[in-house]
Structure 1
């Protein structure tokens, strides 16, 4: 199962290459992640102090969030290295966001790696902002009636998970899929042990964790292909 890394390793590598170049280089590179996220990195040799990073990312929850980035998400993006990153208006054609990177503002000491890593978290910042908006804004009508419908969240095209907002708590349910049968056997034992440890007295303050080989009642009515797993939920 894919996991959400704070920084994109591939994007970080390209930006480090651009920053460390001993002479001006020209870059016009498209990078794809998770099959649906696209980066476009551009830098001209004639202006080595500036680079442009464009990003196209589908909404986490279709029908709940617009295809454009919200003002809340924009503010979170502005918080990434504010002296170095500027939002270009309008974004480049085919992208939701274009950032102007002022490379001359990156420190010339060892901190430059941390700064570039922060820039490479742009996808994670957008995803976390969208998830917060989903939890804030959806299900309000259902909650009044005592109904709490699952929210299908798609951070990877083939690996959605579900979030259910209830009074005083939020439930996250992750369908687990593995390619190799041996991985399924190992993972099943691991998750069972994880549940036992997580529910012990030592970890009483941590969120409760459970594992099941079959979908829980909260997901009744969801599409079969989203719940078809070999590693449980």
Structure 2
């Protein structure tokens, strides 16, 4: 939220470095901030105690009559805020709306110098609030005017005798941004109707243009996020509240975009965290599954070893029994030996029988015995 602070952080940092420097140094620096706000700082070696600060702010409305310099009320508020250490230079530096000569030598305490630097950083909100008052004063008792704080976004201010309506047309490029913004507008509208926020400007959100914008150009009213309206009463712009209220209105659209960006970042971080948790659960399950598989493999390997040993033993038994059966079959196939026949074979070998040729067999005839 420091980005939407009414003080300029860059200006505070530069002025703090100048005051804390041990040796004086020349400075000629120009810096730009959100909303087309421009600063110019200048310090010379010959006049190192004085710091010349020039401020330029954009014109809030192209419809308002141009005026040279700042309104007298803005100059009075600036003198009241910085009269102890600042002096307004007339005329201002060319191209700038206000030029101040700062001298912190009269502030002896470091605490007072820090406070003075913070007050200088608030000048942009003072100038813009005075411009907004000037624009509203030019409307008279009633009327509507288009205001442009930066080139991308614009809003409307409608003035009535009772109140001032600030109407913001909301446009979004992404459907996700549109959904987040619609939810945010509904919550703001519901909170504004509660008793806890009864003192705040009443907020209303509508998808169609409010009646105060009748007669405006169609391309100015073409939106996809609807219209957000704030009812500004007299108590909201009384005294010091005027600068604060003007600064909030000028940065409302930027704050909505900032809220959408933070919401998307939060959702994405939650999704990443959820994904990491789910990934851890899956990894743990995989590790446990691998352990169980290893145990199963170990058990199965032990069982397979036992089965292999049993199978080897059974194989040996089968081989032995098969060998015994084969041996028995071999024994059965051998010729049967009779002890008496052996002696007969030996006697037959002693008497040799004559061998006849084929011719003798044909010529030989057997005689029939009677």
Same fold (TM over 0.5): yes
User: Which position in structure 1 is the counterpart of 2:93?
Assistant: 92
Residue 209 of structure 1: SS of its match in structure 2? strand
Shift of residue 99, structure 1, vs aligned partner: 0.7
Return the index of the structure with the highest Cα Rg: 2
Aligned to 1:73: 74
Cα separation, 2, equivalents of 1:33 and 1:85: 22
Partner of 2:162: 168
Instruction: Evaluate the alpha carbon distance shift between residue 12 and residue 197 of structure 1 in structure 2; reply closer, same or farther with a 3 A threshold.
Output: same
Shift of 1:90: 1.7
Equivalents in 2 of 1:153, 1:105: separation in Å? 41
The answer to whether the Cα contact below 8 Å between 2:35 and 2:58 also exists between their aligned partners in 1 is no
Write the mapping of 1:25-174 to structure 2, written as runs, cut at 5 A: 25-34=25-34, 36-65=36-65, 66-135=67-136, 137-140=137-140, 143=141, 148-174=142-168
Choose between structure 1 and 2 for higher RCO, CA contacts under 8 A separated by at least 6 residues. Answer: 1
Deviation (angstroms), 1:5: 3.3
| TM-fit CA distance, 1:192 | 0.1
**Contact 1:4 / 1:124 at 8 angstroms: preserved in 2?**
no
Query: Is there any run of 5+ residues in structure 1 with no aligned partner, and where?
Result: none
Deviation at 1:131, TM superposition (A): 1.3
Write the mapping of 1:175-190 to structure 2, written as runs, cut at 5 A.
Answer: 175-178=169-172, 181-190=175-184
Question: How far off is 1:63 after superposition?
Answer: 3.7
Using the size of structure 1 for normalisation, the TM-score is 0.84
Cα 1:191–1:134 change in 2 (3 A) is: same
In 2 relative to 1, CA 150–197 (structure 1 residues): closer, same or farther, beyond 3 Å?
Answer: same
Judge conservation of contact 1:31–1:40 (CA < 8 Å) in 2: yes
The two structures, once aligned, show a CA RMSD in angstroms of 2.3
Shift of 1:84: 0.7
Count of aligned pairs: 224
Specify which structure has the higher proportion of helix.
2
Give the alignment's TM-score, normalised by structure 2.
Answer: 0.55
Matches within 5 A, 1:3-22: 5-22=5-22
Gaps of 5+ in 2: 228-370
**Cα distance in 2 between the residues matched to 1:197 and 1:70:** 37
Q: Secondary structure at the match of 1:159?
A: coil
Q: Secondary structure at the match of 1:138?
A: helix
